[in-house]
Chain A
């Protein structure tokens, strides 16, 4: 009689093969991502955005604030790749520097909102009922303000500044992260594996940190990728209205605003200033969509 009670793994599977099957899945996801041209295009655009903003001082052909009155409102030429504004400043250089503002807002705004939202959401999801209700009410109140409307109301009192834009971005995006984190925490809290951990004696901190957080962070990261375009747009929009970054600092919004004022004289400024904004939002949106398609189990199952 053969060895009958020998576990359920066929003998011909070796450890390396099993390791491979675990690694294979990761490789497959990477491959899926790399063959998804939208995701790849998104990734390239996002890298481009980061690189151009970080290396703006090296890449910019001119000082963003250097005036060249004789060449004012010039269309794109070899000297001025994206033309010049009404003061003769080089739009291309200004756009590169404008990317730094966008990057700053996006990086700080999204990461702070994500962390705070994650913590608040997990507190709401795992804490007592009254705290959950209180936090929900708070989230609902903040969310009730359309972002721009809240920004307008605040600017009316404090006057425009970059810090204000950042604060508005953070405050208005926290609720959405918190809500996702809360919902995920709530559903995980009652799942069988958390019960199993509790039956082993795992404490609250261990449950939240080791078992809930790793399962909540994934969807939040995808949300963050999708949120960057919103944040960048809010900054550009507020600066466009003259309520964000103040001239002469270059920002995509202020350049658009200056272009809008001369739109009947030259179409080049609003056209040129829109391009990096669109490329950035496109990049993050494509990236986020691709990540969601690959990692969201609800979307992936070979339908």
Chain B
């Protein structure tokens, strides 16, 4: 198990480094001077020279890469081009909003989606199954940014039930919560359907296994068979999918943050792209990507922990 942990962690680190490399190459593959690109066409020659000096742009590219990796490892992601604030500090300011949104969205989707999938799987082709099936597939098809826009239109603009933009007053928990409702709804909606379908499919597969028939042949209660036995196995592929789907969740978060003007990482990336504030873009993209990589890592480890077969084969 320890070997596995080290191996997976090492691999995740390699991928993070490759991600940095890709971001770096992007900057340097584009024809033109990176400083000019980073600062935009209106930057003065002095600013460009200063920037190039500060960012070690005059060193060979592999040196710059190593410097960046080294700095990033010690928590230094460079400086904001305009405000000269450390990028790390800016990201730390914002990341809480993103994490709250991500977990709220995933949270309600899991709480609703998994039981729905189980119920549908217990009685396949029942009315409940058909209804949840259609709703689930329908909700999967809904692009989350469209749901965001429409939710904004209906609940915030037309009915004015919930606040439209921002993240709420700092310190005012209920206000922050009310600002979380609409974006979390918009992001989580398609996940409810997605999870329900996934759980249903993997439950159906597991319910057809011989060991479920054994459990029933020993007279165990149906509830025990479904939730104690079948779900215990069927949840494993679902965890993998949640981990893998986390990337899509981050993409959805970017949209939701922009539409609801929520000051999270996604909004930060977007604003910095618009302002051509490249160090911030680079830092924030790195953080978002690393977050995803480690969620996938975590889900793999969780499975290894839940499944004795996997746990011991490592």
Give chain A's interface residues, CB within 8 Å of chain B: 38, 137, 140-141, 143-150, 152-158, 229, 233, 236-237, 240-241, 243, 256, 259-260, 263-264, 267, 270-271, 274, 277-278, 281-282, 284-286, 289, 298-299, 301, 303
Tell me if B149 is interfacial: C-beta within 8 Å of chain A: yes
Q: With A146-B247, A270-B149, A271-B150 in contact, is A237–B23 under 8 Å at CB?
A: no
Neighbour of A156 across the interface among B158, B258, B278, CB < 8 A: B278
User: In whole angstroms, how far apart are the Cα atoms of A152 and B207 in the complex?
Assistant: 43
Q: Mark B117-157, 1 if CB is under 8 A from A, else 0.
A: 00000001000000001100110111101100110110001
- CB neighbours of B110 from chain A (8 A): none
Contact A281 B278 (CB under 8 A): no
Contact A141 B15 (CB under 8 A): yes
With CB as the reference atom, state the residue of chain A lying closest to B16. Answer: A144
Tell me if B22 is interfacial: C-beta within 8 Å of chain A: yes
Contact A270 B150 (CB under 8 A): yes
Sample of 17 more A-B contacts, CB < 8 Å, known A38-B134, A145-B19, A256-B149: A38-B137, A144-B15, A144-B18, A144-B19, A146-B289, A146-B292, A147-B248, A155-B273, A157-B26, A157-B27, A229-B143, A237-B145, A264-B157, A270-B150, A271-B150, A284-B141, A303-B207
Tell me if B91 is interfacial: C-beta within 8 Å of chain A: no
- CB neighbours of B146 from chain A (8 A): 236, 256, 274, 277-278
- CB neighbours of B16 from chain A (8 A): 144
With CB as the reference atom, state the residue of chain A lying closest to B251. Answer: A148
Contact A263 B134 (CB under 8 A): no
- CB neighbours of A147 from chain B (8 A): 247-248, 251
Contact A154 B26 (CB under 8 A): yes
Q: With A38-B134, A149-B250, A152-B254 in contact, is A263–B157 under 8 Å at CB?
A: yes
Tell me if B37 is interfacial: C-beta within 8 Å of chain A: yes
Contact B285 A152 (CB under 8 A): yes
Query: How many inter-chain contacts with C-beta < 8 Å in the A-B complex?
Result: 145
CB distance from A132 to the nearest CB of B (A): 14
User: In whole angstroms, how far apart are the Cα atoms of A71 and B124 in the complex?
Assistant: 52
- In order of increasing CB-CB distance, the 7 nearest A-B pairs are A148-B251, A146-B250, A233-B143, A285-B141, A281-B141, A156-B273, A141-B18
- CB neighbours of B145 from chain A (8 A): 233, 236-237, 240
User: In whole angstroms, how far apart are the Cα atoms of A246 and B146 in the complex?
Assistant: 19
Main secondary structure on B side of the interface with A: helix
CB distance from B123 to the nearest CB of A (A): 12
- CB neighbours of B250 from chain A (8 A): 146, 148-149
Interface residues on chain B, number (Cβ under 8 Å) = 57
With CB as the reference atom, state the residue of chain A lying closest to B247. Answer: A146
Tell me if B270 is interfacial: C-beta within 8 Å of chain A: yes
Contact B276 A144 (CB under 8 A): no
Q: With A146-B251, A285-B140 in contact, is A153–B19 under 8 Å at CB?
A: no
Contact A152 B205 (CB under 8 A): no
- CB neighbours of B270 from chain A (8 A): 152, 241
User: In whole angstroms, how far apart are the Cα atoms of A270 and B153 in the complex?
Assistant: 9
Q: With A260-B149, A264-B157, A303-B124 in contact, is A145–B289 under 8 Å at CB?
A: yes
User: In whole angstroms, how far apart are the Cα atoms of A153 and B276 in the complex?
Assistant: 10
Contact B141 A278 (CB under 8 A): yes
CB distance from B279 to the nearest CB of A (A): 11
Tell me if B293 is interfacial: C-beta within 8 Å of chain A: yes
User: In whole angstroms, how far apart are the Cα atoms of A274 and B141 in the complex?
Assistant: 12
B134, B140, B146, B201: most-surrounded residue (chain A CB, <10 A): B146
User: In whole angstroms, how far apart are the Cα atoms of A233 and B87 in the complex?
Assistant: 31
Contact B143 A149 (CB under 8 A): no
B124, B152, B247, B293: most-surrounded residue (chain A CB, <10 A): B247
Q: Mark B217-252, 1 if CB is under 8 A from A, else 0.
A: 000000000000000000000000000000110110
Q: Mark B81-125, 1 if CB is under 8 A from A, else 0.
A: 000000000000000000000000000000000000000000010
- CB neighbours of A263 from chain B (8 A): 149, 152-153, 157
With CB as the reference atom, state the residue of chain B lying closest to A136. Answer: B11
Q: With A148-B255, A263-B152, A285-B140 in contact, is A153–B247 under 8 Å at CB?
A: no
CB distance from B39 to the nearest CB of A (A): 12
Contact A149 B288 (CB under 8 A): yes
With CB as the reference atom, state the residue of chain B lying closest to A233. Answer: B143
Neighbour of B18 across the interface among A137, A152, A256, CB < 8 A: A137
User: In whole angstroms, how far apart are the Cα atoms of A169 and B248 in the complex?
Assistant: 13
CB distance from B65 to the nearest CB of A (A): 15
Tell me if B208 is interfacial: C-beta within 8 Å of chain A: yes
- CB neighbours of A301 from chain B (8 A): 208
With CB as the reference atom, state the residue of chain B lying closest to A172. Answer: B247
User: In whole angstroms, how far apart are the Cα atoms of A257 and B42 in the complex?
Assistant: 27
Tell me if B186 is interfacial: C-beta within 8 Å of chain A: no
User: In whole angstroms, how far apart are the Cα atoms of A38 and B136 in the complex?
Assistant: 12
